[in-house]
């Protein structure tokens, strides 16, 4: 009898402890990291920019490679339609980034998808960065997950670091995010100048991922996004991301991987545009990552991609 009561009390304590862990973010006792808060703020600003445009828009969708490297101010001038940079943080993974874009797209919009190559290695299971952002800022995304996945979001946000961050905020205030950059009126990162670039460090880096086939999970996610876009009357183009030109990325194995992507994208209902070799940028044109162009590299890359895009869509100089 005593053993039964003990086990019942133990089980009840366990459930209460899990409930308390899940409640901490909602009570404001656990707080997100500066990077998570910064990424959330990017979405707040970019969604506001997109929502303020009355007519059809073009949304450039991807991770921070899109945020830093695709200039939608140049694109808007060339195409003659407003283009919003909806790139944020590749650490969120393809599932979250595509879902977030799908929620704001509307009929007659155009999506220009710019997937970093790591997206194409998406695996099954929950993404830790997306768990943290959704748990603190996007409960609707959590509620839409299959029931079996929700516990990962409620409990997997990193309780101890988040409690430490809560104490830090009480003592020092809100985190600063990235003071080196700011967003312009179309959602582009500004401030990633040539003068601040870390080209010497970046030039020694090889490919950031193993060269292997695109995962079934990534294919399923892209197909689902394209189907959702088609149902909304939205066209999806896909362009190669800007990437640093080093021996590793120029190697034959990586180039073969790149060369096989347009056929895959087309099979999923997207319109592939641009050549991967036109997306390579010299190390001196990169900012602080193998995907982040500085302002000079951004202009070079965007101009090349626009040349290809304007062969597939009607641009201002063709009207």
- 7 found inside a domain: no
- 5 found inside a domain: no
- pLDDT exceeding 70 applies to what percent of the chain? 82
Our measurement of the distance from residue 156's CA atom to the centroid of its chain's CA atoms, rounded to an integer in Å, reads 20
* 77-106 confidence digits (pLDDT tens): 999 999 999 999 999 999 999 999 999 999
Q: What is the mean pLDDT of the chain?
A: 86
**Taking residues 270-295, what's their average pLDDT?**
95
For the cut 50, the answer to whether the pLDDT of residue 10 exceeds it is no
185/203 Cα distance (integer angstroms): 31
Here the CATH number for the domain that contains residue 90 is: 3.40.50.1110
Instruction: Looking at mean pLDDT, say which of 48-52, 140-144, 168-172 comes out highest.
Output: 48-52
Contacts of residue 75, defined as CB under 8 A and 6 or more positions apart, other chains included, come to 58, 60, 83, 112, 302, 306, 309
- 261 found inside a domain: yes
Widest distance between CA atoms in the chain: 84
Using an 8 Å Cβ cutoff, are 274 and 238 in contact?
A: no
* 108-132 confidence digits (pLDDT tens): 999 999 999 989 988 877 788 998 9
- 79 found inside a domain: yes
81/72 Cα distance (integer angstroms): 10
- 16 found inside a domain: no
Our measurement of the distance from residue 71's CA atom to the centroid of its chain's CA atoms, rounded to an integer in Å, reads 16
- 6 found inside a domain: no
Number of compact structural domains in the chain:
1
- 17 found inside a domain: no
State residue 15's pLDDT score. Answer: 44
**Taking residues 41-58, what's their average pLDDT?**
96
202/126 Cα distance (integer angstroms): 30
State residue 20's pLDDT score. Answer: 47
**212 confidence band (pLDDT: 50, 70, 90):** confident
For the cut 80, the answer to whether the pLDDT of residue 251 exceeds it is yes
- 12 found inside a domain: no
State residue 211's pLDDT score. Answer: 72
Query: Could you list the residue range(s) of the whole structural domain that residue 151 is in?
Result: 26-318
């Amino acid at each position: 009898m005593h053993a039964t009561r003990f086990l019942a009390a133990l089980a009840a304590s366990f459930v209460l402890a899990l409930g308390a862990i899940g409640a901490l973010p909602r009570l404001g006792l656990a707080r997100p990291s500066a990077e998570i808060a910064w990424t959330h703020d990017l979405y707040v600003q970019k969604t506001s920019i997109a929502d303020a445009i009355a007519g059809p828009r073009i949304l450039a969708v991807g991770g921070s490679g899109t945020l830093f490297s695709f200039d939608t101010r140049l694109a808007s001038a060339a195409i003659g339609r407003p283009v919003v940079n909806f790139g944020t943080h590749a650490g969120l993974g393809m599932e979250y980034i595509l879902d977030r874009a799908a929620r704001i797209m509307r009929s007659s919009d155009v999506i220009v998808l710019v997937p970093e190559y790591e997206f194409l290695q998406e695996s099954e299971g929950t993404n830790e960065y997306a768990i943290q952002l959704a748990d603190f800022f996007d409960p609707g995304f959590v509620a839409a997950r299959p029931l079996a996945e929700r516990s990962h979001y409620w409990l997997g946000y990193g309780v101890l670091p988040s409690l430490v961050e809560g104490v830090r905020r009480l003592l020092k205030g809100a985190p600063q995010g990235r003071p080196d950059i700011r967003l312009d009126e179309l959602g582009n990162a500004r401030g990633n100048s040539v003068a601040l670039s870390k080209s010497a460090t970046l030039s020694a880096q090889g490919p950031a991922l193993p060269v292997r086939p695109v995962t079934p999970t990534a294919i399923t996610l892209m197909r689902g996004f394209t189907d959702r876009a088609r149902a909304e009357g939205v066209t999806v183009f896909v362009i190669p991301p800007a990437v640093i030109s080093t021996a590793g990325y120029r190697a034959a194995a990586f180039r073969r991987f790149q060369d096989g992507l347009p056929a895959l994208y087309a099979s999923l209902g997207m319109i592939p545009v641009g050549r991967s070799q036109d997306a390579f940028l010299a190390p001196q044109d990169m900012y602080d990552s193998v995907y982040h162009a500085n302002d000079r590299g951004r202009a070079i890359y965007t101009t090349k991609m626009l040349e290809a895009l304007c062969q597939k869509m009607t641009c201002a100089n063709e009207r």
